[in-house]
């Protein structure tokens, strides 16, 4: 019984880390024409609540295409910087808009989480306009 109490948390931690790794993004240089020259966010927007999940805050402004992978183009604000609120702390990290190839508009954002892993997150209600 004691071994289960010892091993149980290790198993849960392993499952959590492997699920993050499964969604890990691998951005590289842009090798094809992005679907838009820029994305303009008319106001700040966010995901998360800052308590159960960190709150990732994306600034208003112009997002330029900066990376690409086999699935999407990555658009980022200047410096690829977004703000993060986590239980009373305010931090910064890299993030932007993740535009999946084949879609007429972006429906996800990305951010750099723990261990430097870039992850996508659904966000279809962004206050954006597209510059073609």
Tens digit of pLDDT for each residue in 81-96?
999 998 878 889 999 9
The mean pLDDT value for 9-38 works out to 70
Tens digit of pLDDT for each residue in 33-76?
999 999 999 999 999 988 788 899 999 999 999 999 999 999 99
pLDDT value at residue 53: 83
Query: Which are the contacts of 121, defined by CB distance < 8 A and separation ≥ 6?
Result: 47, 56, 108, 109, 110, 111
Counting runs of H as helices and runs of E as strands, what totals does the chain give?
1, 10
Domain range list for the chain: 26-131
pTM recorded for the entire structure: 0.81
Q: Which residues pair with 96 in a beta bridge?
A: 110
């Amino acid at each position: 019984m004691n071994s289960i109490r010892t091993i149980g948390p290790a198993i849960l931690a392993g499952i959590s880390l492997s699920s993050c790794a499964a969604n890990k993004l691998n951005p590289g240089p842009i090798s094809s024409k992005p679907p838009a020259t820029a994305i303009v966010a008319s106001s700040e927007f966010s995901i998360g609540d800052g308590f159960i999940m960190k709150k990732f805050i994306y600034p208003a402004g112009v997002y330029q295409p900066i990376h690409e992978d086999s699935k999407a183009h990555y658009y980022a604000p200047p410096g690829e910087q977004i703000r993060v609120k986590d239980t009373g702390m305010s931090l910064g990290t890299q993030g932007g808009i993740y535009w999946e190839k084949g879609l007429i508009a972006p429906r996800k954002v990305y951010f750099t989480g723990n261990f430097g892993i870039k992850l996508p997150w659904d966000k279809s209600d962004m206050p954006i306009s597209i510059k073609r």
